[in-house]
Structure 1
Amino acid sequence: MQYWDSINPMNIRDVFNAPQLPVVEIAREIGTIKLQAIMVKWMNSFLRFYSVNGSMDAVQVADTINLILEIYPYYTQYDFKLFFKMAKRGKFGEIYGRMDGEVIINWLKKYDEHRTIAAETETMKYADRFRERYPAEKTEGVTYPEYIAIKQRAADGDKEALRQLTPP
């Protein structure tokens, strides 16, 4: 828990840059039962933040953790820490008197969408850095919509379009 308390990711980039193992790898190293016990502590500290009519009992927490591990085995401690922080800030929606597994799983879906978009953006930025160094070769290709238009013109008897469709 000391390590858990010491990490403080501020955004998805912090998660991606963190030197962390995914939970599936942690489970392989320390065992699934120990990982689940650790995650119960993480989850309980998160749940204590909320003052709701019905709180989750131990079985609900365990079921929710098992679902999370099944759905998101690639998440790291940083992912969960950032997710809990974002949830507390209301980034995934409001709660109306209940905090349960369904709410948490739905919020994790929203977090995963956010995470995926950030990953795609980072990947595109990374790829763009190489685009300047390695410009694409110029080809005489056409896009699919252009191909369809040429094919239609050829069907209408356009000789230039027929020539373009003839293999060299």
Structure 2
Amino acid sequence: MKDLLTLQAEYYKGLHVSSIKEAVLNTPNLPLSVIRKEITLAGARAILVIAINELVSFFNVGKTMNDVQVALTADLIIDRFYYLKLEEIKLCFRNAMASGKIYDRLDGNIILGWLNEYDVQRDEIVSSLSINEAHEQNNNSTGMFYGEYIKHLTERSENGDEEAKELLESHQSFIQRMKSNDKEAAFKKWKEEYYGRTKKQTT
């Protein structure tokens, strides 16, 4: 944490993970929310600005980001992806460098899109790890269906199992985020169709 206060660029440069599983399981438990709490919003923003500027420097595009856009994107990442670790942010961005398609444009919307894609992959892997853990604990050679897994977590949570409670809350939070994303997508589609109809009526 001390290095985050004084050597932010060096700290970010030293982060190395090769997979989502490694980032989630084998790195310090320092999500953005903890970093923001311990070193202030300005400190969390500063290291994300370093991460985003690395992306900006990597992609040679005609339409790029200015300092204000970079700072705003950093704030949006802190607000929306507060549960991700810096190792995960870097892994997501490095994957984007390797295979991201930007078509001569880089902006906050594209970067948030990459993080959304990473988040979906992350939840799938975390859920898989949780199911495997429950499977091993119960020595159930036939596996566990989704409904059984949720029921199992609920029972453990009701019996005072804090780990099961956290897993269940994490899953419910993911479902709510997915519902929220669906609503946003539906509203965006409605808005586009509405303004499309309005434009036709006025022409």
- TM bucket, shorter chain: 0.7 to 0.9
**Secondary structure in 2 matching 1:20:** coil
Matches within 5 A, 1:19-168: 19-90=28-99, 93-132=100-139
The amino acid of 1:54's aligned partner reads: K
Higher helix share: 2
Runs of 4+ aligned residues of structure 1 deviating over 3 Å after TM superposition are none
Give the TM-score of the pair, scaled to structure 2: 0.62
Q: CA deviation at 1:13?
A: 1.0
Q: CA deviation at 1:20?
A: 3.0
Give the TM-score of the pair, scaled to structure 1: 0.74
* Cα-to-partner distance string for 1:64-109 (whole Å, 9 max, x where unaligned): 111111111101111111111111111xx41100000111111111
Please tell me whether the aligned partners of residues 12 and 47 of structure 2 are also in contact (alpha carbons under 8 angstroms). Answer: no
Aligned CA-pair RMSD: 1.7
Structure 1: distance between partners of 2:127 and 2:64: 36
Q: CA deviation at 1:112?
A: 0.6
Q: CA deviation at 1:54?
A: 1.1
Can you give the 5+ residue segments of structure 2 that lack an aligned partner in the other structure? 1-8, 143-203
Structure 2: distance between partners of 1:35 and 1:108: 17
**Secondary structure in 2 matching 1:83:** helix
Please tell me whether the aligned partners of residues 20 and 77 of structure 1 are also in contact (alpha carbons under 8 angstroms). Answer: no
The amino acid of 2:135's aligned partner reads: D
Structure 2: distance between partners of 1:80 and 1:34: 16
Larger RCO, structures 1/2 (Cα 8 Å, 6+ apart)? 1
Please tell me whether the aligned partners of residues 43 and 61 of structure 1 are also in contact (alpha carbons under 8 angstroms). Answer: yes
Structure 2: distance between partners of 1:70 and 1:7: 22
The amino acid of 1:59's aligned partner reads: V
Q: CA deviation at 1:26?
A: 0.7
Q: Are 2:20 and 1:12 aligned?
A: yes
**Secondary structure in 1 matching 2:101:** coil
Q: How many residues align?
A: 133
**Secondary structure in 2 matching 1:74:** coil
